[in-house]
Amino acid sequence: MTRQSLANHESRITNHVIYPPSLTQLIEALRCLPGVGPKSAQRMAFYLLERDRLGAKRLADSIAQADARVGSCKRCRMFAESELCPICAATKRERGLLCVVESPADVVAVEQSGSYRGCYFVLMGHLSPLDGIGPEQLGLPELDALFQQGEVQEVKATTAAVQKSIDYNTEVTARAASSAAIARDAAQKAHETLVRLVEKNDSE
């Protein structure tokens, strides 16, 4: 156990002794936020309980409501409360232009530029086989299906990681198609051989 992890472990033990269970649970829950360590989580929890109970209530209600209502857009995987997000539902967007991005934050950044009028596809991450993040987790089969519809004419990738994910999926798809073709040829040849053997036996 490293010095830092040991300190965190001792801190959790101390907190369990000093704090009520519900406060300890709140501090641990706040640590799920990016960049929030034990001290930052403790400071946030203390602030909410000491100075802004109403804010704490609004925060809890908003988190619960977002968790219950927000899902993914059927077309682009962006956050949405209905089947389609506002961008995909807009009739004035250019359907033939698709921008593939890593995260919803990238959609916001591109939209703020004000110069893009196409649609998006959100991978919700980047390709990382060692972390168990492959084509399925990134929604690349859905992206392929979108391409197959024939509506998309131009694709833009916002980062090299996004382009790598697209290229990887294209390669995997091509291999799968090649394997399927080989399997079909083998099955056809086996069928033809069987037919010849039956015909030979009949003639004898």
Per-residue confidence in pLDDT tens, the chain, 204 aa: 555 554 455 455 445 557 899 999 999 999 999 999 999 999 999 999 999 999 999 999 999 999 999 999 999 999 999 999 999 999 999 999 999 999 999 999 999 988 899 999 999 988 888 888 888 898 888 988 888 888 889 888 776 655 555 555 455 444 444 444 444 554 454 444 444 544 545 555
Separation in Å, CA 158 to CA 98, 102, 116, 162: 11, 8, 12, 7
* pLDDT, position 178: 44
What pLDDT is attached to residue 10?
46
Q: Which domains does the chain have, with CATH numbers?
A: 3-69 (1.10.8.420), 79-177 (3.40.1360.10)
Per-residue confidence (pLDDT) for residue 58, from 0 to 100? 96
pTM comes to 0.67
Which residues partner with 91 through β-bridges?
none
φ, ψ dihedrals at 118, nearest 5°: -90, -160
74 CB-near residues (< 8 Å, 6+ apart): 83, 84, 88
CA 98/CA 155 separation, integer angstroms: 5
What pLDDT is stored for residue 127 in this prediction? Answer: 81
Burial grade of 80 (CB within 10 A; 0-12, 13-18, 19 or more): buried
Q: For residue 4, what pLDDT is reported?
A: 52
pLDDT at 82: 95
